[in-house]
Homo-oligomer: A and B are copies of this chain.
Amino acid sequence: MNRRRLPSEFELIARYLAPLAEGFEGARGLGDDAAVIPPASGFDSVATVDALVEGVHFLGDDPPASIGKKLLRVSLSDLAAMGARPHLYFLTLALSEKTEEAWVADFTSGLAEDQKTYDITLAGGDTVATSGPTTLSLTALGQVPSGKALARSGAGKGDAVYVTGTIGDGALGLAVLNGGCAGLAEAARAHLVGRYRLPEPRTGFGEGLVGLASAAIDVSDGLVADLGHLAEQSGCRATVEAARVPLSEAAEAALGGDRDLLATILAGGDDYELLFTADAAKETQIQSLAGRHGLRVTRIGDTGKGAGVQLLDPQGAPISLGRQGYRHF
């Protein structure tokens, strides 16, 4: 397994990974078999795992720093959906044979930047070689006040359904990278690609939803599919007025050029916005929280008796989409 392109595993760890763990004493400089994490009294730990595969979740020529950030941010988005504050993460790097040291340097520089942005620290990991595409896996730990973690299962009937930010940009960004949306202006295309490459996990806002939201999930599989998960786990039906779903200017422009993109927007995934339900009486508190985080929060529908997700057009007639979100198999 000696490869010319990369320094040894130990040198890679010392040069690029150990510096990411400097902020956490329990990582012991990545020199031990495992990390030691003291308990935090009054808090539950929240743990989530995400994997990214080259050619599936990112492209071989994506900027490595963006890949590092996306890997971390996808997990941070899961923590946000549970109402947890980021704490530590563990990293598995299975590096393809064509990986060069510069790739690792840039990848870890992206992680280093995001560690500062989101106040999270590397605590351990494993680095191996693979004959296949580079495969990355990250386990993130967060902290939430004991017993207060948000769940997908808490929505009542008659709750309001909210979403943060704008929906569809990530899926449209991927479409642009694959040669789609050719008629769109360059600035709009760049905005969409940026949103695909660098989601913005709603960590601070998610923490604030503890005690406010009745159920929450992050939009990764697509708005319709993820709302379906929430409705199923909560034993209710969710109704969404499609015209209320918040779109960026770039997504509006794309949709203006091709109405069929509505399915991509509503079911395409990779949004990493928070989708949550709350008692409608909490509207003011929710908008106030959103204001403090400089975040747009939009009420897009309601829950009720029954099951599944119903999309309505402005006249109240049901809309049916061609597909129900991304599936890995």
Task: Output the nearest chain B residue to A96 by Cβ-Cβ distance.
Answer: B132
Name the segment of A26-34, A160-168, A296-304 touching the other chain.
A26-34
- A residues near B (Cβ < 8 Å) are 1-3, 6-9, 12, 26, 28, 31-41, 43-53, 55-57, 77-79, 81-82, 84, 90-92, 94, 96, 123-133, 135, 137, 139, 141-142, 144, 146, 149, 151-153, 217-218, 229, 233, 326-329
Separation of A63 and B135 alpha carbons in the complex (Å):
23
* CB-contact partner of A90 in B34, B49, B149, under 8 A: B49
* CB-contact partner of A50 in B38, B126, B218, under 8 A: B126
How many copies the complex holds: the figure is 2
CB pair B32–A36 under 8 Å, yes or no, is no
* CB-contact partner of A47 in B35, B39, B46, B57, under 8 A: B35
CB pair B48–A39 under 8 Å, yes or no, is no
Separation of A142 and B90 alpha carbons in the complex (Å):
15
CB distance from A275 to the nearest CB of B (A): 11
Separation of A55 and B92 alpha carbons in the complex (Å):
17
Separation of A43 and B46 alpha carbons in the complex (Å):
17
- With A36-B149, A39-B39, A39-B40 known, 4 other A-B pairs at CB within 8 A are A1-B327, A28-B153, A33-B48, A35-B48
